[in-house]
Structure 1
């Protein structure tokens, strides 16, 4: 299967699976807002998917400082893909797939996405237990899930 075909098939499977978990999709990200945090799954390549988190206020404050308050009216996905958005703290990396593997079909891709979203939801819940107050969250190198 060609790389472009595999990307389309994976994106389609990801969109279907993500909806079951309450995530939205925009390009290479899936995102959800929970308890004052923006959680984002980034899928730039085929090998890995990254779970990231940041408080919702971070981008609002950033945009106010740089006189970009109109960004607050843009779609929420801008917080994950926007050029003028605060970088989120990386919480977890999930292995995704070997793009040369022969089992890369729609059913297998859906299973892989199902597994990743199950893990991500669990990791988000663990994160929220350890960091219940988004207003006081400050990311550091030893972030606990």
Structure 2
């Protein structure tokens, strides 16, 4: 009887060829089913870091955290876009500057809602003001 005591133990091997085949099939499947959509992006002109000198004759509108508006320091009774636009048109009529040269500076509270600031910008558009600036506070 020969029980093969002198033969070395067989080493256990992991066959990687089937694993690679399966991974390549999965890769081909994913590449074939992936859709490549190109989404339209907004064209933005980002502001530069250099600060410009502020014009002294700019119109100012303040937006409080409550959603109240003040044009040139005068509190407005209404908070609709039409009320704000009417106040801006009246201020433009009293101003000697040409309408194309009018600058509106929006002083918005940090806690003011986004909708309130957009409402002020929409009123400026309705009044025909093309140049809108925002004031910021420097960090300490």
Q: TM-score, length-normalised on structure 2?
A: 0.22
The one of the two structures with greater contact order (alpha-carbon pairs below 8 A, sep at least 6) is 1
Compare the two structures and name the one with the higher helix fraction: 1
Name the structure where strand makes up a greater proportion of residues: 1
